[in-house]
Structure 1
Amino acid sequence: NPIGIKCGPSLDPDELIELLDILNPNDDAGRITLITRFGHDKVETYLPKLIRKIQAEGRTVVWSCDPMHGNTIKSSNGIKTRPFDRIIDEVKQNTKIHKSEGSRAGGIHLEMTGQNVTECTGGLDDISEADLTDRYRTHCDPRLNANQAIELAFLIADELKQNGH
């Protein structure tokens, strides 16, 4: 069965290789997906180290970006949210880093809903912190609403076109 490994700032590249030795000793293609979730302000520091280590060890993995987890903040009114601009920034950095390292991002993890919620700030609807209380419905983590999800999809498509993926 495929296995996903969540990779954040605390994951040491050598520890990642140890995990791969245990979970995929034969380096079977498609077995391991590395789900990177650093936050927009840390991806440039940590992602290149992991990519370089994986390449140096000759490992076969699928890279997936989770731009949601590391960009969760508490708003000034105490509500857990995720700024849209930080989400797209992490996606853009992720794509550029993979390209510059000779690697390829193979997926993205988003938390979204088709409902017209106000859980993540920003986007074309310009949801503000004050708007969060209007339609905040999540019982767990903030989700992109339908408009934000579609906007993000188009921005990702543009980013992939510009960076030759």
Structure 2
Amino acid sequence: MQELPKPWFDIEGYKRTRIKEAEFEANIAEEFVKEGLLRNAAGKAFQAWKALLGAMLVDIRGELLKKYPGKKKLRGRKIVEFADWLIAIIPTSYMEELSLLLGKDVNLVTKLALALHEYQYNGADKDTILSPFRTDDIAKENILILIDEIRSRLKKI
């Protein structure tokens, strides 16, 4: 198994790998939908979007370096730019904020991905307290929308 290139070593290699990861995860998500494994499909669709978001963030690295100055200490005493760490990790807590930098359309898709992330852990909830989706069918439609959005963007890259 090949290790994911780190943006602080090879930014273009990182981008290429994240694009491949997005394609792979979207394909698995679609297969899980076909098998009725909707919560697993939601997780894979979320991972696909997160990978694609990482690839898109590479294109605005300069902006990220200005917005997020500073360093991040990694295990093994390696110190990297905080912006590069954000590109590599894409913490869930930063996803919406980072997506805003890529435009409102990316932000709206990120909101969908985050809703599916909640569904992955909590399932459907008719009262929408633990999950934004009242039924599995509603979640399924949203998973398919996210997969379609990912594939559409991958074709443009």
Q: TM-score band, normalised by the shorter chain?
A: 0.3 to 0.5
Higher strand share: 1
Bigger relative CO (Cα 8 Å, ≥ 6 apart): 2
Higher helix share: 2
TM superposition score normalised by structure 1: 0.32
TM superposition score normalised by structure 2: 0.33
